[in-house]
Structure 1
Amino acid sequence: MGATLVHEGGAFVNFRHHAFAEPRAHGFRWVDVKRFRLPSPTATDRELLAALVAHEQFRDDYAGGGVDPEGTRHGAYWLRLVTPDAYAPVTRERAAGLLRSWAEQYGPVPCSLAEALRREVLDALAEADAVHHLDGLGEAEHHDWASVHGEFHELVLVDRAAGRLTLVVAADD
């Protein structure tokens, strides 16, 4: 498949914009959401993951610089090492559990943050017919300053009915 994904925008949920009971509980945690239109309803998940990895919007180190068309990093990893094989299918329940445990690791999240996470991530996750978790990479694939991320979680949500692929990155730095 030579088709490419079309970037349709996204959202950024910054934990520090929400009032936590414990001021230090938010740390520097955030969720970045990028939405893409599917190139074809018949594209396989592997083809979609390959199209995502090839997309300019994927060239993001998630360390404040934003998308860099010439970038060599993706989150904590060298971009060249992130392939469709690095993603594993997971259930919606497992993906939601991963996000909730990460978000609540320092205590309950404020209602405003829970609502933002529901609106921007959990609703899309509930509608996805396929979910992939970037978990096939380890420290050997980390780039030279990957330690800027305390945790880095990435999910790809495929919703064929809506014709959308959603890239979700949840991290702290």
Structure 2
Amino acid sequence: MDNGLAHEGGAFINFRRYLPDPKEHGYRWVDIKQLRFSAGSLDDRGLLAALIGHEQFRDDYAGGGVLPDGPRHGPYWLRLITPGLYEPINQEKAVQILREWVDPLRDLPTGLEADLQREVFDRLAAADGTYYLSELGDEVIHDWGRVHDYFHEFVLIDRSAGQITLIVAADD
């Protein structure tokens, strides 16, 4: 357990795998990290703080993977990410953000739609709390943080399952 959270695994959905022409929206992907927490251990803000402190959060999402001592999280400097930057949103708004991001692919291949449903939308439906990291200002962007065209980040808290899930949907 790291900061009260235990990494359980995750999934990576690379759109290139499903598209007949990977050049068309082929640089989209969704990364899912799932962690376990003790039931009733922390309130939502405490869980967000524990997630930010966990080594799995130290991922620049630019090919380097998780760097236990890394200073970056996605396009942002890790030291500038706080629980207060995550805004609670309802399931409908989260689905809307994700569907608008996927929208250029109106007719999703069956396998991609099934994987997105299972790994993303089903998890959203089961969550007790959903938090969204809105686009942050330039002062939070690290030295080469503009490599992503879009960067959507959601944290899902499912208390009945004792799970917190970090979902990053991005283009690069």
> What TM-score do you get using the length of structure 2 for normalisation?
0.94
One-letter amino acid matched to 1:108:
D
1:1-173 matched pairs, under 5 angstroms: 3-20=3-20, 23-135=22-134, 137-173=136-172
Q: Deviations over 1:112-150 (max 9, x none)?
A: 111100111110100001000011622221011111111
Rounded Cα–Cα distance in structure 1 between residues aligned with 2:123 and 2:97:
15
Any stretches of 5+ residues in structure 1 without a counterpart? none
Rounded Cα–Cα distance in structure 2 between residues aligned with 1:70 and 1:43:
25
Q: Deviations over 1:72-115 (max 9, x none)?
A: 11001000011101100000110111111111235332121111
Is the contact made by 2:3 and 2:54 (CA closer than 8 Å) also made in structure 1?
no
One-letter amino acid matched to 2:39:
S
SS for the counterpart of 1:43 is: coil
Residue 40 of structure 1: CA displacement? 3.4
Q: Cα RMSD over matched residues?
A: 1.6
One-letter amino acid matched to 2:73:
H
Deviates more, 1:155-164 or 1:127-136: 127-136
User: Deviating runs (4+, > 4 A) in structure 1?
Assistant: none
SS for the counterpart of 1:8 is: strand
Rounded Cα–Cα distance in structure 1 between residues aligned with 2:6 and 2:68:
15
Q: Percent identity?
A: 54
Rounded Cα–Cα distance in structure 1 between residues aligned with 2:135 and 2:110:
33
Any stretches of 5+ residues in structure 2 without a counterpart? none
